[in-house]
Structure 1
Amino acid sequence: MEDTEAAASGTPGAGAEDGAGRPVSKALKVVAAVDASEESLQALSWALDNVVRCHPDASLVVVHAQHAVDHFVYPIATHGIAYAPPAAVESMRKAQEENSRRILARALGMCKERQVDATAAVVEGDAKEAICQAVERFQAGLLVLGSRGLGKIKRAFLGSVSDYLSHHACCPVLVVKPTKAHAK
């Protein structure tokens, strides 16, 4: 899938002025990061109901990060090098593209149900870095993502995408925690 670009916007009131020197607010650009988890879709739903609805001129970009195909290359035990037959790489690429299409179709369906126009983008790489770069590229005024609610030990070993982005994204980050009904 190819990235879908949208017109760049900044945060409201970000320094622009009209001819009389009065501040002019720019439309809020919201980037919502989604994956296959219910928590990410719950975060998107929350953003649609509580951010986009309150800012009718806001634009929404739904972003999905997928690992690069070479991330799944396997080692050959006797040689200690990584190799994947071209057919396996192509099969993995097609599976990832289909998975990304399915995830984004579900997210865009949620937007359509609430009569919100949204664009979609697939970014490739580690989710932390890829989403951070997408936020910069789309000049987001707000990043919205879900939290899986990992415990301290799992978070220490697996890392937390939401924690990383809250410290490294170039815009405010809204982390939507799972509701008690969805909590594990």
Structure 2
Amino acid sequence: MEEGRKIGVAVDFSSCSRKALEWAINNVARKGDHLILVNVLPQGHYEETEMQLWQATGSPLIPLTEFCDSHVTKKYGIKPDPETLDIVNLAATQKEVIVLLKIFYGDAREKLCEAVDHIPLNCLVLGNRGLGKIKRVILGSVSNYVVNNCPCPVTVVKSADHS
């Protein structure tokens, strides 16, 4: 892959997504790459006009400095945890990557696949919640769907506490 790649990481600010984020930073990201955090919020009735416009194509790309600001995160309806913010701030300074956030609204499976085309991404990294067989059948596996339907290389990072 050439310089300045766009590496997508699915984040929901859980421990599984932090593990995937750390894996992407340690194993894929290089100086000059764009690390794009893709967050999918459930479909809802959003009052703000901007959010209604973004439901089809997602939010604009949000720079790291903005999504570290509590006023901005409130505007977008997200709650990034301090640990994730520390990880991406460290990556931005030490690895010299450009960190951006893109928010989509709707079904995570479909929106993660759409993100690849909308942004566009060179690859996508996501965590695995480690659902058991029964829950996976009932709820469906986001990672399984994305691996089978995404038009770019996908890496699923399995959490160590889920064997």
Aligned-residue CA RMSD (Å): 2.5
Q: Does 1:146 align with 2:127?
A: yes
Which residue in the other structure is 1:8 paired with?
none
Question: The residue matched to 1:123 in structure 2 has which SS?
Answer: strand
Given that 1:33 and 1:62 are in contact with CA atoms closer than 8 Å, whether structure 2 keeps it comes out as yes
In the superposition, relative to structure 1, how do residues 172 and 111 fare at CA in structure 2: closer, same or farther (>3 Å)? same
Query: Which structure has the greater CA radius of gyration?
Result: 1
Question: 1:110 aligned to 2:91?
Answer: no
Calculate percent identity across the aligned residue pairs. Answer: 36
Superposition pairs of residues 83-162 of structure 1, within 5 angstroms: 90=47, 98=74, 100-103=77-80, 107-114=84-91, 115=93, 116-162=97-143
Match of 1:48? 25
Number of residues of Structure 1 aligned to a counterpart in Structure 2: 135
- How has the CA–CA distance of structure 1 residues 133 and 35 changed in structure 2, closer, same or farther, with 3 Å as cutoff? same
2:162 corresponds to: 183
User: Residue 43 of structure 2 aligns with which residue?
Assistant: 68
Q: How does 1:20-31 map to 2 (within 5 A)?
A: 25-31=2-8
Q: Per-residue deviation at 1:26?
A: 4.9
Q: State the TM-score, normalizing by the size of structure 1.
A: 0.65
- Give the SS at the match of 1:134: helix
Gapped runs of 5+ residues in structure 1? 1-11, 13-24, 71-88
Q: CA deviation at 1:46?
A: 1.0
Structure 1 SS opposite 2:152? coil
Q: 2:151 is matched by which residue type in structure 1?
A: C
1:63–1:141 CA distance, 2 compared to 1 (3 A): same
Q: TM-score, normalised by structure 2?
A: 0.73
One-letter code aligned to 2:40: A
- Once residues 40 and 123 of structure 2 are traced to their aligned partners in structure 1, the CA distance between those partners, rounded to angstroms, is 17
Shift of residue 49, structure 1, vs aligned partner: 1.1
